[in-house]
Structure 1
Amino acid sequence: MASTTLKATKLSDLQIPLEDVVKATNNFHDDNIIGRGGLGLAYKGQLQRSGNFIKISALRLDRKQGEGEVEFWTEISVLSDLNHTNLVSIIGFCDEKDEKVIVTTYAAKGSLKEHLRNPNLTWTQRLQICLRGGSNINSSTILLDKNWEAKLSGFKISIKQLLNRMDRVILSEPIGLKGYMEPEFQKIKGVTHKSDIYSFGVVLFEILCGRRAYIENGANRFLSTLVKYHSGKKTLEEIIYPDIRNQMSTGSLRIYVELAYSCINDDRANRPNMDKILEELEKALKLQLRRENIVRLFS
């Protein structure tokens, strides 16, 4: 009973008035949207706390869908209990007037999505982001701090903490964005942990090619379709982001590309598990660092 009371008190301390959140996000203005997920939109903003302004991310539950209540409270509970260098920190939440919003810290450099074509984001840094980002669903929910280190955000965190999907098929709409959804979902209308692996594979190609998973008016709208086309023709190098191509060690690139393709395999059974993914990314990074050491030695 004491722990329950303590928890309730802890959560009450995190409550933020809706008025403050609205002001911080300029009334949830479209210009402040930084991500669009299955449960709602994420907005950046400036929240005034104790006389100072801090950068925030506000995850606004889409009440039109009539779901997400459990995920909302679970997310708050998990984030308020966890303190991890690779997770965003919770600032508070709003639960007023049919609005449910989770407010977290917003990393200094914004989301990975904003830096896919940033020439200052080196290949080594991109590999490190992949390792720290884990299997998070998309480049909008991987935030980058001032040192380019990845911070995870989004409702996905709590679901991964509490639901073991290793051998289960969840018959619901996937929490994701257009471009990250595996082809199999359209056939069987269900997701498993291998669905997450597919999404992460798309993120790997976003990082490699310097372009988003889906471009609304592009000739090649879906990145996954584009990379599979180039795989068949063995011409992937044509769409690698040119500003990082000359930085790569041959071995690092080979391991990375083979891994990324295995993640977006149309057959779920042939996709690797997360342990294998991290193992291969570690190898790719090790080879890349070895190349950089050699370059420094002879420069």
Structure 2
Amino acid sequence: MASSITKFAHLQIPLEDVAKATNNFHHDNIIGHGGFGPAYKGQLLLSGKLINIAARRLVRKHGEGDIEFWTEISALSDLKHSNLVSIIGFCNEKDEKIIITTYEANGSLKEHLNSPNLTWTQRLRISVGVARALAYLYYDEGRNYGVIHRNINTSTILLDENWEPKLSGFEISIKQAVNRMDKVIFSEPIGTIGYMDPEIEKTKGVTHKSDIYAFGVVLFEILCGRRAFIKNEANRFLTKLAKRHYESETMHDIIQADIRNQMSQFQISLGSLKKYSNTAYYCLKEDRAHRPHILDIVDELENALEKALRFQPLTENFVRHSLFLLLFSCMFNFISCGRICLF
């Protein structure tokens, strides 16, 4: 553990500074709860600049959590991608263990699944962003190892002020040699109910295709506007419900209501929906070998987004800009005609 502290010494932030940034961990500053512990928002003065932060504070019930703490710091210090949350530093003093990352203004995707304000194209952009993050984790050319996340769900997908996704939650991630990404890593079934790869029980371990399964669940959550698991409901598990409707060609019945209205109102290409739902469905294949490659997933989702953008309704700003250009053009032509007449 001492070697870890030395290796990441440049990221250490004094407890006094973190406490000040979060108003002494005031309950009004809590922005979420996870398996690691509560997360607080705050403003930290760093190198003379005030920045918005999220501070995840480890809850230590029986002294556990050290491995997860250092696993996350190790992962985030090595990984740099526009769709991953960025580490600012950590605090490890007075029995406190806190990970400080950038603050994402729109919280987690879980909070917005059924929001009428999240359009179909925005949902597609979020899906594409997460897929790109996974492709980076598995096959970035700058590293000789890949990272299996093991905690893909709508709570670990954060959204910044522009609704761009930032994947977080690396405390149980595993590093694996790039040429062994398909090999099973023996592991206890760890994760969130509703997202667990059914092959874990059979193979007694995970591969990166376990993440692909969980991502398929997320894709259907985004499309249907509901969570992966809802306790005390007849259709508790979204996977079973979504697969049944996909196979019966009745997906339209379970699509989130506002998305369905957008598709009807703006005549959004059905090709976009078809590509998206196909991708989500094949991610949920029981046999890992039949789940798609992450690069194919990226291509399919990007294509779905491209198809949707062709049918995107005109925004108010676009209409105003177009009217301005039209008015300017008319004035220019009028002046030009006047000059011709004068001469």
Query: TM-score, with normalisation over the residues of structure 1?
Result: 0.81
Question: 1:220: Cα distance to partner?
Answer: 1.6
Question: 1:139: Cα distance to partner?
Answer: 1.0
Matched to 1:45, the amino acid is: K
- Counterpart among 75, 82, 85 of residue 82 in structure 2: 85
Residue 188 of structure 1 corresponds to: 203
**Does residue 219 in structure 1 map to residue 216 in structure 2?**
no
- Counterpart among 30, 39, 56 of residue 43 in structure 1: 39
**Does residue 243 in structure 1 map to residue 249 in structure 2?**
no
Give the secondary structure class of the aligned counterpart of 1:292: coil
**Identity value in percent:** 52
What is the alpha-carbon root mean square deviation over aligned residues? 3.4
Pair 270,90 (structure 1): closer, same or farther in 2 beyond 3 Å: same
Give the secondary structure class of the aligned counterpart of 1:56: strand
Residue 185 of structure 2 corresponds to: 170
- Within a 5 Å distance, the mapping from 1:47-66 to structure 2 comes to 49=45, 54-58=52-56, 60=58, 64=62, 66=64
103-112 or 148-157, larger mean C-alpha shift: 148-157
Is 2:58–2:97's contact at 8 Å kept on the other side of the alignment? yes
Give the secondary structure class of the aligned counterpart of 2:88: strand
Matched to 2:15, the amino acid is: I
Q: Distance in 2 between matches of 1:116 and 1:167?
A: 31
Q: Distance in 2 between matches of 1:18 and 1:73?
A: 20
Residue 32 of structure 2 corresponds to: 33
- Within a 5 Å distance, the mapping from 1:253-272 to structure 2 comes to 253-272=273-292
Residue 143 of structure 1 corresponds to: 158
Give the secondary structure class of the aligned counterpart of 1:168: coil
Pair 233,84 (structure 1): closer, same or farther in 2 beyond 3 Å: closer
Q: Distance in 1 between matches of 2:92 and 2:211?
A: 29
Q: Distance in 2 between matches of 1:205 and 1:80?
A: 31
142-151 or 58-67, larger mean C-alpha shift: 58-67
Q: Distance in 1 between matches of 2:14 and 2:214?
A: 33
1:62-86 CA-to-partner distances (Å, cap 9, x unmatched) read 66484651x5324324434554322
Residue 15 of structure 2 corresponds to: 16
Structure 2: where are the runs of 5+ without partners? Answer: 135-148, 320-343
Pair 223,149 (structure 1): closer, same or farther in 2 beyond 3 Å: same
Give the secondary structure class of the aligned counterpart of 1:213: coil
- Counterpart among 106, 113, 117 of residue 114 in structure 2: 117
Residue 126 of structure 1 corresponds to: 123
Point out 4+ residue stretches in structure 1 off by more than 6 angstroms.
50-53, 293-297
Residue 303 of structure 2 corresponds to: 283
Question: 1:206: Cα distance to partner?
Answer: 0.6
Pair 24,171 (structure 1): closer, same or farther in 2 beyond 3 Å: farther
Q: Distance in 1 between matches of 2:28 and 2:290?
A: 41
Q: Distance in 1 between matches of 2:113 and 2:85?
A: 20
Pair 126,272 (structure 1): closer, same or farther in 2 beyond 3 Å: same
Larger radius of gyration: 2
Question: 1:22: Cα distance to partner?
Answer: 8.1
Pair 84,268 (structure 1): closer, same or farther in 2 beyond 3 Å: closer
Pair 59,224 (structure 1): closer, same or farther in 2 beyond 3 Å: farther
Give the secondary structure class of the aligned counterpart of 2:206: coil
Question: 1:216: Cα distance to partner?
Answer: 2.2
Is 2:269–2:307's contact at 8 Å kept on the other side of the alignment? yes
Q: Distance in 2 between matches of 1:239 and 1:183?
A: 23
Structure 1: where are the runs of 5+ without partners? Answer: none
Is 2:224–2:254's contact at 8 Å kept on the other side of the alignment? yes
**Does residue 94 in structure 1 map to residue 86 in structure 2?**
no
Query: TM-score, with normalisation over the residues of structure 2?
Result: 0.72
Question: 1:59: Cα distance to partner?
Answer: 5.6
Q: Distance in 1 between matches of 2:63 and 2:259?
A: 41
Residues paired across the two proteins, number: 287
| Greater RCO (Cα-Cα under 8 Å, separation 6 or more) | 1
Question: 1:89: Cα distance to partner?
Answer: 2.3
Give the secondary structure class of the aligned counterpart of 1:102: strand
Pair 82,180 (structure 1): closer, same or farther in 2 beyond 3 Å: closer
Is 1:262–1:271's contact at 8 Å kept on the other side of the alignment? yes
